[in-house]
């Protein structure tokens, strides 16, 4: 297969590209390298440095099977300071990707996010799993809204693309983590690299708010496995599918785990809560399980152990 991966040099992108190359696909990568650096090459890999908003001007292809649209900044500190870093690639870039996919009769797979669900009201201590049919609850024009709303608009564009007779799907990813995540920006929303950096310094693990908010963390290898199944799926895909690990954990408990697994008890520092932060975020993955025969293979403990072994200095 010939596959275009926008954002292919990023954290998820490079793992996916490597997996595609290992199985014999030809891969085209488009990345502006704002938050990434090309770090590997292959005879079946062609790389273009550029902006996805200019996709149809800078990438010349006559044959293509699938577009995986990953291009977008996902670091909260960056998009809170510059909204265009998420609005442009997820709205205008998605529109360009849909144009190319329609021209070449290719399937488009859009990397969406659990953020599209917004701040669903949930009084459960760990949160009720969110299904693809659940409504989203958003407040507008705040520090978090550019990312979530840009992703929602990207999903609408892909939905329109599909309803016009084409093939595509939005993949709602829930907190994908693993070794070698970009740790150059330590801030809210970067809990795994933040904790690794603090353990290495050493300094207290920083937690925003009370630490009782819950998140579900998915191993990068499991995320790539799901994307490969979606790429290879024979038939019509759903408009959206959750890909995540239905094993929620409080950030306080995560901090305890990092210290116990690393045997470095650096303590915790609590910082002010970020406005409009969702209390819980846990996926219902029954659709992915039944449709794709996919479930996560690594537990949270195994994920933390791998990350610590890779990132914590002796």
Q: What is the 3-state secondary structure (H, E, C) of 97-128?
A: HHHHHHHHCCEEEEEEEHHHHECCCCCCCCCC
Largest CA distance in the chain: 56
- Residue 93 buriedness (CB in 10 A; 0-12 / 13-18 / 19+): buried
Cα separation of 63 and 105, whole Å? 9
CATH number belonging to domain 2-179+217-247+282-296? 3.40.50.720
Is 88 or 74 the better-scoring residue by pLDDT? 88
Given the DSSP bridges, would you call strands 66-69 and 107-113 parallel, antiparallel or unpaired? parallel
Least confident of 109-118, 141-150, 152-161, 211-220: 141-150
- Distance of alpha carbon 196 from alpha carbon 190, whole angstroms: 10
DSSP 16-75: HHHHHHHTT-EEEEEE--SS-------TTEEEEES-GGGHHHH---S--SEEEE--S---
| pLDDT tens for each residue of 144-154 | 889 999 999 99
Give the model confidence (pLDDT) of 164-212 as tens digits: 999 999 999 999 999 877 645 444 558 999 999 999 999 999 999 999 9
Q: pLDDT digit string (tens) for 60-69?
A: 999 999 999 9
User: Which residue of the set 79, 147, 188, 270 is catalytic?
Assistant: 147
Least confident interval from 75-79, 117-121, 243-247: 117-121
- pLDDT over 80 at 138, yes or no: no
pLDDT greater than 60 at residue 81 = yes
Q: Which two tokens stand for residue 16?
A: 């996916």
CB atoms within 10 A of CB 105: 11
Query: Mean pLDDT across the chain, nearest whole number?
Result: 93
Please choose, from the candidates 122, 127, 116, 126, the residue with its C-alpha nearest in 3D space to the C-alpha of residue 151.
116
Question: pTM of the predicted model, to two decimals?
Answer: 0.94
Does the annotation count 270 as an active-site position? no
d(CA 126, CA 264): 27
> Once rounded to an integer, what is the mean pLDDT over residues 118-126?
64
pLDDT tens for residues 236-280?
999 999 999 999 999 999 999 999 999 999 999 999 988 878 888
Confidence of residue 124 (pLDDT cuts 50, 70, 90): low
Q: Read off the pLDDT band of 231 (50, 70, 90).
A: very high
Instruction: Specify the range with the lowest mean pLDDT, choosing from 40-44, 120-124, 258-262.
Output: 120-124
Please give the pLDDT value at position 186. Answer: 45
Is the pLDDT at 292 greater than 90? The verdict is yes
- Predicted pLDDT at 126: 60
**pLDDT of 31 higher than 50:** yes
């Amino acid at each position: 297969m010939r596959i275009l991966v926008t954002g292919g040099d990023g954290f998820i992108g490079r793992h996916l590209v490597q997996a595609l190359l290992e199985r014999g696909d030809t891969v085209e990568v488009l990345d502006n390298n704002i938050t990434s650096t090309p770090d590997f090459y292959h005879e079946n890999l062609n790389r273009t440095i550029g902006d996805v908003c200019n996709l149809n001007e800078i990438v010349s292809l006559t044959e293509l099977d699938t577009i995986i649209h990953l291009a977008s900044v996902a670091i909260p500190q960056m998009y809170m300071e510059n909204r265009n870093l998420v609005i442009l690639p997820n709205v205008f870039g998605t529109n360009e990707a849909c144009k190319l996919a329609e021209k070449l009769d290719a399937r488009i797979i859009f990397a969406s996010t659990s953020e599209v669900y917004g701040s669903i009201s949930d009084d459960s201590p760990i949160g009720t799993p969110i299904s693809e049919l659940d409504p989203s609850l958003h407040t507008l024009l705040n520090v978090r809204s550019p990312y979530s709303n840009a992703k929602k608009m990207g999903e609408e564009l892909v939905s329109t693309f599909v309803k016009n007779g084409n093939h595509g799907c939005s993949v709602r990813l829930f907190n994908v983590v693993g070794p070698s995540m970009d740790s150059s920006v330590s801030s809210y929303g970067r809990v795994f690299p933040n904790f690794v950096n603090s353990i290495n310094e050493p300094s207290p693990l920083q937690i925003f708010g009370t630490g009782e908010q819950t998140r579900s963390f998915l191993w990068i290898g499991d995320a790539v496995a799901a994307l490969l199944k979606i790429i290879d799926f024979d038939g019509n895909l759903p408009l959206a599918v959750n890909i995540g690990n239905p094993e929620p954990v409080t950030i306080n408990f995560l901090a305890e785990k990092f210290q116990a697994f690393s045997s470095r008890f650096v303590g915790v520092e609590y910082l002010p809560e970020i406005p409009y932060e969702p209390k819980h975020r846990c996926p219902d993955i029954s659709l992915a399980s039944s449709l794709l025969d996919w479930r996560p293979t690594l537990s949270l403990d195994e994920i933390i152990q791998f990350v610590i072994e890779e990132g914590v200095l002796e």
